[in-house]
Structure 1
Amino acid sequence: MIIEYKIPDLVFEYGSPLERYIDISFGLFICLLSIAVLIAVLIDSYMEELRKSKLYLARLEEKNKVIEAKNRMLEKSNAEFMRAKEKEEKLNKLLNEEKQKLEELSITDYLTGAFNRRFITSCLKDEMESSDLQQKELTVAMVDIDNFKMINDSYGHLYGDYVLKRVVSTIKSNLRQSDIVGRYGGDEFLIILRNTTGSEGYAMMERIRRMIQELEWEGDLKVTISGGVIEAGNNDLTSLLKKADKLLYRAKHMSKNMIEKELTADGNI
């Protein structure tokens, strides 16, 4: 109708209304067919995109499964690694503890718990060098237990061992943390008193001597110590040990149960 109104020369004339109806119906059919074809093409395109999307999602899901599997393997590997690391740390700790124990055993007298002769002598050498460089006082005491052979013979070696351990324990508990005690041999002990003058060292050893004298023992046993105290001064290691030992035996031969000291020209230690 629009065509008829706008461009009347282009409008065909129909012989009858039927022809016109048929022509219009055919036009509508063509339109519907075109729309159907277009819809079919759109549906086919949509289905193709849907298929591609599903394929992509399927591949993505497969990749996710692979990634999850790898993550599980990685987590398992990490867990195994952490367990292995924990075991290694425990083993290293155990080895270090055993190493420390061996080092302590190598420098410690097994019976008394004091340092052994090799280590205490080495310590004294180092302390003498250090005090000389730093110009600090250093005093040494050499002590032993009076009549120790008689104690062993009368009370037995086991009780003698007990006396040794108790005497050393008393000495150590009455020294400062910086002081060092070592078993020099038998019932003889070497004590290093850092940053200590001869007079201070003598006073310390006198106090310890009195404390040991007052300890109570089995029966009527009395345990005492004798000792020698000397300031390191300009002595070398050998002469210092010899002088300390000489003072110790002078104390034992004089009356025992006493601490002997080295005197200077003015009569002081």
Structure 2
Amino acid sequence: KDLQEKNKLLKTLADMDGLTGIYNNRYFQSALDKELNRTARNKNPLSLVLVDIDHFKRFNDDHGHLVGDFVLTEFSRVMGANLREYDVLARYGGEEFVVILPETTEENAFLVAEKLRSAVEEQSFTEGVERYRVTASFGIASIVSSAEDSLDKMDLIRMADEALYDAKKRGRNQVAVYSVKKKWYKFA
């Protein structure tokens, strides 16, 4: 029994980001595979949101990496507090995060991302006497059935990344949606 508990702990540690305490990229990749399979089977919608903290390199340069790490951790907490229990929030790398929204249409994914964007923008991260604020850009890709759309994981990530790029290009602190069917972008 002790060995089982240790193995379970090791698995948990292997799936989690050491700094933020949320899922890591490795876990995200596996979870996205599972959700794509479920989407193909059940014909439910699936949305993916890529998130990037705006100008975070400059923030780190200005305030130092310890403050940057604190903000990454608090940012993760704010994001997680505004998601459903079965949504998957993971650190994609550096200041990039990803959210898997199972059974979520493009329209609802937009509402979720806008809620997250607003929550981050309004949040003041306080450490000691210092207060820090950041904003984030969001890129969304949604599908109805991965079999119908013949999309793989990399296609979905690429589309969300293209939308994220457009959100940044249009001034940051925005949500952009990449539509599989229409191949065009919407902005808030």
TM-score range, shorter chain: 0.7 to 0.9
Structure 2: distance between partners of 1:262 and 1:254: 14
Greater helix fraction, Structure 1 or Structure 2: 1
Unaligned runs of 5+ in 2: none
User: What pairs up with 1:82-231 in 2 under 5 angstroms?
Assistant: 92=1, 94-217=2-125, 219=130, 221-231=132-142
With a CA cutoff of 8 Å and minimum separation of 6, indicate the structure with the bigger relative contact order: 2
Measured in 2, the distance between the counterparts of 1:155 and 1:127 equals: 38
Conserved 8 A contact 1:128-1:232: no
Deviations 1:186-219 (A, max 9, x none): 1111110011101101101101110110111355
Aligned partners of 1:195 and 1:249: how far apart in 2?
25
Structure 1 stretches of 4+ with a deviation exceeding 3 A read 217-221, 263-269
Is 1:232–2:148 an aligned residue pair?
A: no
Deviation at 1:96, TM superposition (A): 2.6
> Pairwise CA RMSD of aligned residues?
1.9
Is 2:160 the partner of 1:248?
no
**1:178 Cα deviation after fit:** 1.0
SS in structure 1 at match of 2:125: coil
DSSP 3-state at the match of 2:20: coil
Give the secondary structure class of the aligned counterpart of 1:165: helix
Letter of the aligned partner of 2:153 in structure 1?
Answer: L
Q: Distance in 2 between matches of 1:172 and 1:183?
A: 11
For 1:253 and 1:228, how far apart are their aligned partners in 2? 12
Distance 1:137 1:209, change over 3 A: same
- What amino acid sits opposite 1:254 in the alignment? R
SS at match of 1:262: strand
CA distance in structure 1 between the aligned counterparts of 2:21 and 2:67, rounded to whole angstroms = 16
| Cα separation, partners in 2 of 1:266 and 1:192, compared to 1, 3 Å | closer
Instruction: Kindly indicate which of the two structures has a greater share of residues assigned to strand.
Output: 2
Whole-Å separation in 1 of the counterparts to 2:45 and 2:28: 18
Contact 1:114 1:181 in 2 (8 A): yes
Taking only the aligned residue pairs, the percentage that are identical comes to: 33
1:226 Cα deviation from its structure 2 partner: 0.3
Amino acid aligned to 1:261 = V
What amino acid is the match of 1:103? K
Q: Which runs of 5+ in 1 are unaligned?
A: 1-91
User: How far apart, CA to CA, are the structure 2 residues paired with 1:222 and 1:187?
Assistant: 14
Q: Assess, with a 3 A threshold, how the Cα gap between structure 1 residues 163 and 268 changes in structure 2: closer, same or farther.
A: closer
Bigger-Rg structure (1/2): 1
Give the aligned length.
Answer: 177
